[in-house]
Amino acid sequence: MKSKRKALNPKSNTAMNQFKTEKLISQPVLGGVQRVKLEEILAYEQPNKYIVKSTEYNDAYTIPVLTAGQSFLLGHTNETQGICRANKKSPVIIFDDFTTSNHWVDFPFKIKSSAMKILSPKKTNIEINFRYIFYAMQCIKYLPRTHARQWISIYSKIKIPLPSLPIQKEVVRILDTFTELEAELEAELEAELEARQKQYAYYREKLLSFREREVRRLSEVCKITTGKLNANAKTEDGQYLFFTCDANPYKIDIYAFDTEAIIISGNGSQVGHINYYKGKFNAYQRTYILSDFKDINVKFLLFYLKAYFKDFIFTDSKKGSVPYITMPTFKKFKIPIPPLAEQKRIANILDKFDALVNDISTGLPAEINARKQQYEYYRNQLLNFKEKQSIKN
């Protein structure tokens, strides 16, 4: 099904053409612009008096409880005291003092903890558009190296480009419209992704539900072994993938397997998580490697395991502070065995669905990510002003 979504492209999109974005990007301010430290234009407030007392959130309540981290909205409270009275005319920026994550807030709120700063325009003779400052902060490339408070010690000393007030306002006008358009398109993509996920789950259930089929134990259709290495064996830039009990693999310098395999996390919070890989790799000692498949299509087995294995292990895995799966649990799991041609047909259908809803390089998740990257590209280009050079005697 071909999508009728509009491309988020300023060259072809009518709304973006109104702002002549490319022209603004391609014509630098003559002589460059001054750069100012954030502390010269932003004041900060400690948030202690706005901290929520109760964490019994309810969507029926009216006051949002925020964090400056990625989750942003934690819930709603019915507390009426100690509210930060931000609004459209008097917005603030909430700033995570440890991670430097930040958000624009233009409505009343309370907060979860004191690990943040509340930023607002400082009373100064420097002309600023506060929204422009927020956008400029999104372009700052700074990664905290230690778990320490960042605003006073480092972040407030960072300089940002500050063109004339009319240019600041034009940049904000462009990015606000771009943000609104991007949000609409992303919401459309998210809705489509959710619908596709439900459709995928429906067809997976239909395709993998069998009656009067031959059934075999997992140990009868493949070899089941475990990795041999400690999790600390991972490296920063190894040549081969290293599968551990985390959802995503790491890297390592040596390999122990060179085959087509299904790798399953054997313990921890990701117990039962499934990866598929074909090639040279290594594995942690508490992961299980399925290989040497007999009379079964490996992709068919992969999708069957993804559909039913977690429910199975939740009833059979060992309970404790760290849940884990034993080898006998694997050997007891049973799989229906339709003819190989039927297995291949089912696997091909589910492969296409899986790519559409899960593949970050080709499916809908990739398109959502591309929207975000395109927005960030134009934002960074708009704010890429040449610095004004001081005159030397």
16 in a domain, yes or no? no
Helix (H, G, I), strand (E, B) or coil at 267: strand
Q: Examine the domain organization and report whether 95 and 244 are in the same domain.
A: no
Q: Examine the domain organization and report whether 125 and 168 are in the same domain.
A: no
pLDDT in tens, the chain (393 residues): 344 444 444 434 444 444 444 445 444 454 568 899 999 999 999 999 999 998 889 999 999 999 988 889 999 999 999 999 999 999 999 999 999 999 999 999 999 989 999 999 999 999 999 999 999 999 898 888 888 899 999 999 999 999 989 989 988 888 888 777 777 777 777 777 777 777 767 767 777 776 657 888 999 999 999 999 987 888 877 899 999 888 888 999 999 999 999 999 988 778 888 999 999 999 999 899 999 999 899 999 998 898 888 888 776 545 544 567 888 888 889 888 888 998 898 888 888 777 776 655 555 566 667 667 777 776 677 677 666 654 444
Q: Examine the domain organization and report whether 206 and 219 are in the same domain.
A: no
Q: Examine the domain organization and report whether 238 and 302 are in the same domain.
A: yes
What is the reported pLDDT for 233? Answer: 85
393 in a domain, yes or no? no
Number of domains in the chain: 3
Q: Examine the domain organization and report whether 94 and 124 are in the same domain.
A: yes
282 in a domain, yes or no? yes
Asked which of 122, 143, 162 is the last residue of a domain, the reply is: 162
Residue range(s) defining the domain that contains residue 246: 214-337
Q: Examine the domain organization and report whether 359 and 328 are in the same domain.
A: no
82 in a domain, yes or no? yes
91 in a domain, yes or no? yes
27 in a domain, yes or no? no
140 in a domain, yes or no? yes
Asked whether the beta carbons of 36 and 29 are under 8 A apart, the reply is: no
Asked whether the beta carbons of 241 and 261 are under 8 A apart, the reply is: no
Asked which of 137, 162, 187 is the last residue of a domain, the reply is: 162
Helix (H, G, I), strand (E, B) or coil at 264: strand
Give me the CATH number covering residue 277.
3.90.220.20
Q: Examine the domain organization and report whether 140 and 72 are in the same domain.
A: yes
Asked whether the beta carbons of 112 and 47 are under 8 A apart, the reply is: no
The alpha carbon dihedral of 235, 238, 244, 249 has a sign of positive
Q: If we measure between CA atoms, which residue out of 120, 101, 106 comes closest to residue 47? A: 120
Q: Examine the domain organization and report whether 147 and 177 are in the same domain.
A: no
Residues 165, 176: Cα–Cα separation, whole Å: 16
Asked whether the beta carbons of 196 and 190 are under 8 A apart, the reply is: no
Q: Examine the domain organization and report whether 297 and 238 are in the same domain.
A: yes
- Residue 270 tokens read as 């990701």
Residues 151, 130: Cα–Cα separation, whole Å: 17
Within 13 Å and on the Cβ side, how many CA atoms surround 26?
A: 4
